[in-house]
Structure 1
Amino acid sequence: MKIRKELWFGFALMAMIVAAALFMLISVERIERGHIGLLMLSLVVVAIMLGFPTAFTLMGMGMIFTWLAYDRDTQRTLDLMVQSAFKVMSNDVLISIPLFVFMGYLVERANLIEKLFRSIHLALARVPGALGVATLVTCAVFATATGIVGAVVTLMGLLALPAMLRSGYSVQLSAGTITAGGCLGILIPPSVLLIVYGATAGVSVVQLYAGAFFPGIMLAGLYIIYVILVAKIKPSMAPPLSAADRFVPLPALTQRITAPTGERHAVAGLLAALKGPRNQDVPTGYLLRQLGIVALPLVVFVFFSLFMYRTVTAPVIEDAPPAELVRSGDTGTSAPAPAGGLAEPPGADGVKEPPGADGVKEPPAADGVKEPPGTDGVKEPPGAEGVKEPPGAEAVKEPPGAAEAVREPPGAEAVKEPPGASAAPAPAGTGTTAAPAAARDAPRGFWISFGVGAAALAVFYALLSFARLEIFKMLLTSFFPLMILIMAVLGSIVFGLATPTEAAAVGALGGFLLAIAYRQLTLEVVKESVFLTAKTSAMVCWLFVGSAIFSAAFALLGGQELVERWVLSMNLSKTEFLILSQVIIFILGWPLEWTEIIVIFMPIFIPLLDNFGVDPLFFGLLVALNLQTAFLSPPVAMSAFYLKGVSPPHVTLNQIFLGMLPFMGIQIIAIVLLYIWPQIGLWLPQVLYGR
């Protein structure tokens, strides 16, 4: 009965779309080609909702309507199809998609998520709603490493949902937390959605990644705040963990250290066992290894602080103008000119081509006086007489700077006077001289960050018990490897060290190394990862081809022009246009997936941005935040169906939908915050790339 209700909802939505298209055709005075394009768009949406493959639906509709637009000319229709497909598939950015997907599948099959969830929920055991918060953090980290929504929701449904239900969490909160957290990979880089949007809208994927970083963290933070508030206001929905759930078993050798004295502080206990009489038969090597793990945060903090201090206090070396420019008289400064001129004698060229040379060769020197021989300096000073007389020839032969003296008469005296010209020659092989600069003082921000880090480190060591040491060791083997992989991939992209494709290749290699380190890399794992990567990549590539053909047909029919005229006739402001576009995308997220919205509707929205002064990068961030509704809004909330497939029988689909509704509201709040303060998304691209 429930499925029938959902089907009725879908059929009703399709009927509304068809009715709107027919009403448009009936109500207009004259049917234009653009109206045929809008009819094609509505038919595509209905066909996709009926279950037809998106890519082939786009290609089929595009070719049929192109054939009609070309007056049934098959040759021109096939030419347009081939050109559109070739243009899309020659985009180098798309190469990064299979590499990122392959990295995600390898990380997924390394079985890190169980260790990751266990270590994070133990580390956050005393936080209200600890299991919900740990679920969101695990989803954010794992979704960032994989970017595969279905895999994250499915694995967390198998792992976190039973644990949350056993601890007394409500079904709605548990389901909403897992589905919302699993969708974070859509927004947080490295996101395939951002690659697809960048290729569709012509926006730099690197800048999109930098811009989506803080909005993704903001959205995850809003989710966590909501779970904590629910746990504080309604403890029955998210009760605290019991003592048994918070218990951390200690290794046998560690128990020998704590047994005689009951010492629970890790640093004091290890030092006491190392220097005192050890009758507990604890090997010295074990103690040293534990102390090494304890000292690891301090070593990392000191190394990072020294590196940042040297970076922020390094002197700024200002380069002088190139010597070639100074010799040619392109700069107005005379101080660096002698250094460059004397170090590399430019006068060789000046002897061959200077004004005096022509004057010596040609007997009628008077003509040389009347007409300038190539320099302005011959007109004004009486240097032309020097060209006639023999001493002028000697002047040409003597100093190499004479050519410059002829061009700029005062420069000759300047070359003779300052002694610094010979004392500061330019380095060989370079055209610039570096001005000396003193070391800078460290800015206040560095000292504030250093103080906060030192305080956090002091708190860490003050509270480091043996149980927390075991949790820290679990994090070292689950959380930090993933974070290192993520930061290596994202850092190399954002800071310009590698292109997205190169960084994706490094990420795929990192996935291999993680699978090897955790002894999960088998031939079967590689075969499954390659097969799923090929399947996903082929789907995305076919979508791009179908989108290109459909967009070409839509533009050929004049649909884009008709939409643009209609939108501009409404006299919308920038704010009204953004609200209208986001509402349309939000509604489209009900029946369609994000891939279909990007490839079908973004080519319609993007040309309108210039008319309203909207930055395509900022619009892309709003769309990325909004498109998570495609996985959280019924009736096509794919994450709900992923979770339903692995949840216990008593968890119904309606309960999952109800649990997702508060998180959809949080997404709307995040969109509003990003619009009010666009620097949340634009600050990092402006700092890194000067947008």
Structure 2
Amino acid sequence: MATLLFIAICVVLMLGYPVAFTLAGVSLIFAVIGEMVGVFDSALLGALPNRLFGVINNSILMAVPLFVFMGVVLERSKIAEQLLSNMAQLFGRMQGGLIFSVFFVGMLLAASTGIVGATVVTMGLMSLPTLLKRGYDPAFSAGAICATGTLGQIIPPSIALVLLGDVLSSAYQQAQLKMGIFSPKSVSVGDLFAGALIPGLLLLSMYCLYTVILIKLKPEHFPKPASVSALDIRFVASILTVLLPPLVLIFLVLGSILLGVATPTEAASVGAFGALVIAVLKRQLNLTVLKDIMQSTVKVTSMVFLILIGASIFSLVFRGFGGDELIQQLFNNMPGGVIGATLLVMFVIFLLGFILDFIEITFVVVPLVAPILLAMGLDPIWLGIMIAVNLQTSFLTPPFGFALFYLRGVTQELISSGDIYRGVMPFVAIQLLLLLILSVWPSLVTWLPSVIYG
């Protein structure tokens, strides 16, 4: 019944029904059927009210609407447009400079919004027409924009890492109970933020290195440096005026979490307020814009919590059918032990990333598999970052990657699907290489959290 439940939910999702209602509705239908045939104890549903109250009362998840609000405000305040314009002038002195400005601005936007769709759409609308007009290769330009857009999964402060931090904290406690260990140590959002810093910067460096190599091999795809005026005090001041506010805001939010000065929720509050201040100083905030920002925030937040409620119902029913024991038996019988089990989980998550967003995967799949993997000895911070990078790769992989659909939707008059698919493949290979590097040298993830938190 547990296997049938999982298959039924996947089928209903592929038919296009909303994720939250699918998870809750199908699970409750299976619970009723299971009660009728005597394989499910409906008394288990008595735990549902406490679970739902725990979801709504979760202090860590309160950071989600605040981070979403911060990202939407920065997006609406047109900071990215001004940044891209100034960075293009700054990097315009080197061949392919506009691409490097796309990487840099996209990284800041990804760190600010934490939402793949918002970053890809914004960068696609702003930068792709300019790149094509300047003579850059269409396929490479599309690939660079999509790859930069997915950095929101791994560059902190990331909403994906906030959600993973909450789920992995619970999974770590369950794993300790399975192993008979009662340690006060837990997994925090700050741990994941610290663990993601080096992989995120390494991935961005690999993008830049690939671009440099491509410029040397195929210089005809990158226009020669434009003649630009010399750097003067006015131009430097203009760059600093645009660049410093979002950088200071991100460093304040991220630094306060990493140094333990503030909780993720408190830091997110500072970020939301700081974003409003920046928008006011840029004269980009009025009642109409504020209403639009608040509506967007409520929509995203409602989606997150509805999915979490649906996932809680699914998890309860799935465990009632003995699904967790089934998964544990599968992992224990896997050839290769913990390595084989980890590879299987990563492959399944990669495939699910084609049809589900990171929110559904974080709330539905990770709680089922993470406790078992952690009980087998995996480091929770390393597992969280590997899942985040894996999902980032999935969102970029043709033909179903979400980032490709987002870019195609807003630039269909400018570029073909074939160019987008060809352009992203090298970046998919780079991300797979990063996964391999993190597998061979897990200390790239675990070193910084151990230095900061001991």
TM-score normalised by L of structure 1? 0.61
Question: Who wins on radius of gyration, i.e. which is larger?
Answer: 1
Q: Which residue, out of 214, 219, 222, partners 1:235?
A: 219
CA contact (8 A) 1:153 1:179 kept: yes
Match for residue 402 of structure 1? none
Opposite residue 558 of structure 1, the aligned amino acid is G
Opposite residue 592 of structure 1, the aligned amino acid is L
5+ residue gaps, structure 2, are 170-186
Q: Secondary structure at the match of 2:190?
A: helix
Write the mapping of 1:34-45 to structure 2, written as runs, cut at 5 A: 36-45=1-10
Q: Which residue, out of 168, 175, 190, partners 2:157?
A: 190
Q: In the aligned structure 2, how far is the partner of 1:649 from the partner of 1:606?
A: 43
Q: In the aligned structure 1, how far is the partner of 2:232 from the partner of 2:116?
A: 32
Match for residue 530 of structure 1? 294
CA-CA distance at 1:75 after TM superposition: 6.8
Q: In the aligned structure 2, how far is the partner of 1:649 from the partner of 1:226?
A: 28
Match for residue 620 of structure 1? 384
Write the mapping of 1:286-685 to structure 2, written as runs, cut at 5 A: 467-647=231-411, 649-685=413-449
Opposite residue 253 of structure 2, the aligned amino acid is V
CA-CA distance at 1:630 after TM superposition: 3.6
CA contact (8 A) 1:230 1:238 kept: no
Opposite residue 658 of structure 1, the aligned amino acid is R
Q: Which residue, out of 88, 92, 97, partners 1:130?
A: 97
Q: Which residue, out of 46, 53, 73, partners 1:79?
A: 46
CA contact (8 A) 2:97 2:225 kept: yes
Q: In the aligned structure 1, how far is the partner of 2:305 from the partner of 2:434?
A: 31
CA-CA distance at 1:128 after TM superposition: 3.6
Q: Which residue, out of 158, 163, 178, partners 2:145?
A: 178
Opposite residue 104 of structure 1, the aligned amino acid is G
Deviations along 1:109-157, one digit per CA (max 9) or x if unpaired, are 1111111012212222233421111101110011111212222211211
CA separation of 1:166 and 1:190: change in aligned 2, threshold 3 A:
same
Match for residue 263 of structure 1? none
CA-CA distance at 1:574 after TM superposition: 3.2
Match for residue 221 of structure 1? 205
CA contact (8 A) 1:490 1:503 kept: yes
Q: In the aligned structure 2, how far is the partner of 1:661 from the partner of 1:677?
A: 24
Q: Which residue, out of 14, 26, 29, partners 1:64?
A: 29
CA-CA distance at 1:199 after TM superposition: 1.6
Q: Secondary structure at the match of 1:160?
A: helix
Opposite residue 43 of structure 1, the aligned amino acid is A
Q: In the aligned structure 2, how far is the partner of 1:51 from the partner of 1:211?
A: 35
Q: In the aligned structure 2, how far is the partner of 1:579 from the partner of 1:128?
A: 40
CA contact (8 A) 1:84 1:548 kept: yes
1:150 matched to 2:150? The reply is: no
Q: In the aligned structure 2, how far is the partner of 1:235 from the partner of 1:85?
A: 57
Is 541-550 or 623-632 further displaced after alignment?
Answer: 623-632
Deviations along 1:185-209, one digit per CA (max 9) or x if unpaired, are 1111111111111222213111111
Q: In the aligned structure 2, how far is the partner of 1:239 from the partner of 1:232?
A: 12
Q: In the aligned structure 2, how far is the partner of 1:470 from the partner of 1:661?
A: 41
CA contact (8 A) 1:67 1:77 kept: no
Opposite residue 84 of structure 1, the aligned amino acid is R
Opposite residue 62 of structure 2, the aligned amino acid is I
CA-CA distance at 1:552 after TM superposition: 0.8
Q: In the aligned structure 1, how far is the partner of 2:277 from the partner of 2:61?
A: 24
1:108 matched to 2:92? The reply is: no
Q: Which residue, out of 94, 101, 112, partners 2:61?
A: 94
Match for residue 46 of structure 1? 11
Opposite residue 205 of structure 1, the aligned amino acid is V
CA separation of 1:122 and 1:116: change in aligned 2, threshold 3 A:
same
CA separation of 1:552 and 1:74: change in aligned 2, threshold 3 A:
closer
CA contact (8 A) 1:40 1:65 kept: yes
CA contact (8 A) 1:183 1:628 kept: yes
1:204 matched to 2:188? The reply is: yes
Q: In the aligned structure 2, how far is the partner of 1:164 from the partner of 1:208?
A: 35
CA-CA distance at 1:96 after TM superposition: 0.4
CA separation of 1:684 and 1:44: change in aligned 2, threshold 3 A:
same
CA separation of 1:642 and 1:571: change in aligned 2, threshold 3 A:
closer
CA contact (8 A) 1:212 1:621 kept: yes
CA-CA distance at 1:542 after TM superposition: 0.7
CA-CA distance at 1:650 after TM superposition: 4.3
CA-CA distance at 1:593 after TM superposition: 2.0
Opposite residue 260 of structure 2, the aligned amino acid is G
CA contact (8 A) 1:543 1:599 kept: yes
CA contact (8 A) 1:115 1:474 kept: no
CA-CA distance at 1:471 after TM superposition: 3.6
CA-CA distance at 1:485 after TM superposition: 0.5
5+ residue gaps, structure 1, are 1-35, 249-465
Opposite residue 121 of structure 1, the aligned amino acid is A
Deviations along 1:486-533, one digit per CA (max 9) or x if unpaired, are 000000000000000000000001001100110011001110110000
CA contact (8 A) 1:149 1:186 kept: yes
CA-CA distance at 1:580 after TM superposition: 2.6
CA-CA distance at 1:648 after TM superposition: 5.3
Deviations along 1:371-421, one digit per CA (max 9) or x if unpaired, are xxxxxxxxxxxxxxxxxxxxxxxxxxxxxxxxxxxxxxxxxxxxxxxxxxx
CA contact (8 A) 2:338 2:373 kept: no
Q: Secondary structure at the match of 1:632?
A: coil
Q: In the aligned structure 1, how far is the partner of 2:238 from the partner of 2:153?
A: 28
Q: In the aligned structure 2, how far is the partner of 1:676 from the partner of 1:631?
A: 23
CA contact (8 A) 1:161 1:174 kept: yes
CA contact (8 A) 2:92 2:226 kept: no
CA separation of 1:240 and 1:503: change in aligned 2, threshold 3 A:
same
CA-CA distance at 1:218 after TM superposition: 0.9
CA-CA distance at 1:576 after TM superposition: 3.0
CA-CA distance at 1:637 after TM superposition: 2.1
Q: In the aligned structure 2, how far is the partner of 1:89 from the partner of 1:53?
A: 20
CA-CA distance at 1:227 after TM superposition: 1.5
Match for residue 172 of structure 2? none
Opposite residue 58 of structure 1, the aligned amino acid is L
Q: In the aligned structure 1, how far is the partner of 2:340 from the partner of 2:96?
A: 39
TM-score normalised by L of structure 2? 0.91
CA separation of 1:61 and 1:682: change in aligned 2, threshold 3 A:
same
Is 529-538 or 557-566 further displaced after alignment?
Answer: 557-566
Opposite residue 637 of structure 1, the aligned amino acid is G
CA contact (8 A) 1:153 1:642 kept: yes
CA-CA distance at 1:95 after TM superposition: 0.3
CA contact (8 A) 2:45 2:316 kept: no
